Amino acid sequence: MRFRFTDVAIDTAAARRELLDSGAGGYVSFEGWVRDFNEGREVTRLEYEAFQPLALNEGERIVAAAAARYPLKHALCIHRVGSLDLTDLAVWVGVSAVHRGEAFDACRYIIDEVKHRVPIWKKEHYRDGLSGWVNCERCAATHD
Amino acid sequence: MNTRTTHAKPSAAAPSAPVPPLYALILAGGQSSRMQQDKAALLYQGKSQLDRVHELASRHVANVFVSVRADQVDDPARAAKSLIVDAVAGEGPIVGIRSALAAHTDVAWLVIACDLPFLSDTALEQLLAERDPEVLATTFASTHDGLPEPLCAIWEPAAGPALAAYHERGRQCPRKFLLTHPVRLLVPRDRRALDNVNTPDEYRDAEASLQSSPNSQRLCIQYFALLREQAGRSEEFVETHAATAAALYGELSARHHFTLAREQLKVAVNSEFAEWSRALRAGDTVVFIPPVAGG
């Protein structure tokens, strides 16, 4: 599986080892971290939730599309679910390739597509005690 | 906006009378002249419509009666059931409804015609849940013309004398009676439930439709994120006539007051993305997908 979920801290060292390849000349990884503000509000923690059967299929399709698009050796994406605190690692993407150029490009491609397509939702908890589902609450309000 | 009560209800402070008990009355005394055969005996999926609607009504109301003409009491299909025999002169459904209201003057009647093959648990649940005993009847507004449907309606005891007086003035039409008296009118949640069948062609089409998409199919709905919170559950099983994913979202959105418009969502059927026009089958698992926010 080249896309998976975990409800415990992502072991980046172990994940990186899965990408080792004697034919790879470069490795690029991306880490998405929990940040303390979003759209002008102070964030204290996040909750991630996924529709896993579809998310796993969609995530696999994204990594497979990256491998078809760029000459990669290996690629892997791991996403957290559950409650995360500030500075926690929410998502990890790693790519190994013959040359660094395609490793950078494929890593960027995977994280962009994952954020855009995979059924994962993020609830932000704010300093003022309120909370909201990212991309859902504000646009919903405009439809009232 | 889903209901309209034509007369003001008493204020909340007024003492309210106990709600009359509810019996069901299946109208099976019609002449079925356009059908050229007894509509109650028409078979759908191998079962007579009278038996189908009797089973359906029995799931919601303990006392179920069948309305018949005096010359039908020995008919084998009807004789085994509890009967209300026409007790007033005349023809048409008004006679059966009047006879039931006169037979038990302290009882409200869930009146159901025998020519509604798509009638569903969803429709009867709505009717019972939204019943207003302080008006003469609770009924659905037709999805075709907005008019009240008298033959899938709850008639309160107070309708008895008013309907008798109306009939004795020479009026026959229970729909026009409802139009001119205080009733509660509901927008049907199940839009297909009141499609009636009057001719052999309509019967053939209805039977084919029931074969290809069972009367009310049971679906599993899973909810995530904002929809899970607004629905107050992560999963539910629903009986629905919604033929497509789009219709299903409309139905559930009304029930759970979802704030997300369908245009903001995607839908998955059996764990794969699907078109909104996707035809749903019994047993499908449907997930509505709010705007995503991974990473």
A96-127 tens-digit pLDDT: 999 999 999 999 999 999 999 999 999 999 99
Beta-carbon separation of B226 and A111 below 8 A: no
pLDDT band at B243 (very low <50, low <70, confident <90, very high): confident
Indicate the DSSP class of residue B263.
G
More confident position, B184 or B120:
B184
Provide mean pLDDT across the span B55-82.
92
- Choosing among A54, A58, A60, A118, which should be mutated to test the B contact, i.e. which has the most B CBs within 10 A? A54
Does residue A27 carry a pLDDT above 90? yes
- Residue-level pLDDT at A57: 94
State the pTM of this model: 0.56
The residue of chain A nearest to residue B257, with distances taken between CA atoms, is A144
CB contact under 8 A, A111 and B261: no
Closest Cβ–Cβ partner in B259, B290, B294 for A91: B294
Contact indicator for B59, B123 with CB cutoff of 8 Å? no
Least CB-CB distance to A133: which of B272, B290, B294? B290
Q: Is the CB of B272 less than 8 angstroms away from the CB of A140?
A: no
Q: What is the pLDDT of residue B261?
A: 94
Give the contacts of B13 (CB within 8 A, at least 6 positions apart).
none
What is the distance in angstroms between the Cα of A140 and the nearest Cα belonging to chain B? Answer: 5
Q: What band does B29 get if pLDDT is binned at 50, 70 and 90?
A: confident
Q: Which residues pair with residue A29 across a beta bridge? A: A94
**Weakest mean pLDDT among A11-20, B100-109, B273-282:** B273-282
Using the beta-carbon criterion (under 8 Å), do B293 and A122 form an inter-chain contact? yes
Q: Average pLDDT for residues A2-21, to the nearest whole number? A: 97
Round to whole Å and give the CA distance between A135 and B3: 33
Chain A residues with beta carbon closer than 8 angstroms to that of B287: 51, 54, 119
Give the distance from CA A79 to its chain's centroid.
5
CATH superfamily of B217-289: Beta-grasp domain (3.10.20.30)
Closest partner CB to B259 (pick from A120, A121, A143) = A143
Tell if the CB–CB gap between B272 and A57 is shorter than 8 Å.
yes
Q: What is the pLDDT of residues A78-102, one digit of tens each?
A: 999 999 999 999 999 999 999 999 9
**Nearest CB to A54: which of B261, B264, B268?**
B268
Contact B271 A53 (CB under 8 A): yes
In tens, the pLDDT along A43-92 reads 999 999 999 999 999 999 999 999 999 999 999 999 999 999 999 999 99
Instruction: Please state the rounded mean pLDDT for residues A119-141.
Output: 86
Min Cα distance B244 → chain A (Å) is 20
Domain ranges of chain B: 3-212, 217-289
Mean pLDDT of B238-258: 91
Mean pLDDT of B279-295: 90
Residue B15 banded pLDDT, cuts 50, 70, 90: low
Which residue of B226, B256, B266, B292 is the best one to mutate when testing the A interface, meaning the one whose CB has the most A CBs within 10 A? B292
User: Rounded to an integer, what distance in angstroms lies between the CA atom of residue B70 and that of residue B149?
Assistant: 26
Using the structure block, give the residue that is written with the tokens 């994940």: A15
Cα Rg of chain A (Å, integer): 16
Architecture of domain B3-212: Alpha-Beta Complex (3.90)
**Residue A110, exposed/middle/buried by CB under 10 A (0-12, 13-18, 19+)?**
buried
Give the mutation candidate from A57, A121, A135 for the B interface (greatest B CB count, under 10 A): A121
CB burial class (10 A; 0-12, 13-18, 19+) of residue A14?
Answer: exposed
More confident call, B1 vs A139: A139
SS3 assignment, position B132: coil
